[in-house]
Amino acid sequence: MAVHDQPHRHVRFHMPSVRKAGAARRPADETTTVVMTATSAHVLAGLRVLTGFVFLWAFLDKTFGFGYATASGKGWIDGGSPTKGFLSSVAAGPMESTFHDWAGAGWADWLFMLGLLGIGVALIAGIGLRLAAAAGTAMMALMWLAEWPPAKHLSDGSLSMSTNPFADYHLIYAVVLIALAAASAGATWGLGRIWARLPFVSRNRWLL
């Protein structure tokens, strides 16, 4: 009787490869990172545009007197002063008398209004965010000093009704402006990339 040798079949056990598993997970991790980065970019872009509209609206309302913060017929084009009402009403803080002297001055009106317009346009367009952050932070610092949140009482002795002695909305706006500039948030929904490629901007990085 002939005996036929059957070929031996070796059963091999494959241990899971940590390297392969890591390689398999990497695309998913990278995809998640890309999605998170894209989402963050859009969130920052939305924050940039909304913040820009805050400044631009303030400029438009004070210029034309739409009847919101500025009464109709009392806009800048009607001869009204954008700074007189606010600065003349300062009633606390170390710069109270200084702000009273500045109230209604032509140079103060022009600087304030050009600042509002420039910051608003820069943020909405996504260009010059570093300059907008510097100018906006300076403006917010002055307005913070004018309202002087640390004061419990005004100069006439009445309660200041300050809601927070430090972190008021002026500080929040300043931090937002700095964060948008630091994150280069002008590329999404803005002209940031085109602006950055301009020769004079490339040579002067502070204009980014």
Sign of torsion, CA 178 52 114 57?
A: negative
Radius of gyration of the chain, Cα coordinates, nearest whole angstrom? 29
Q: For 79-108, what is each residue's pLDDT tens digit?
A: 999 999 999 999 999 999 999 999 999 999
Per DSSP, the three-state class of 125 is helix
Q: For 168-177, what is each residue's pLDDT tens digit?
A: 999 999 999 9
Closest CA to 48 of 208, 198, 193, 187: 187
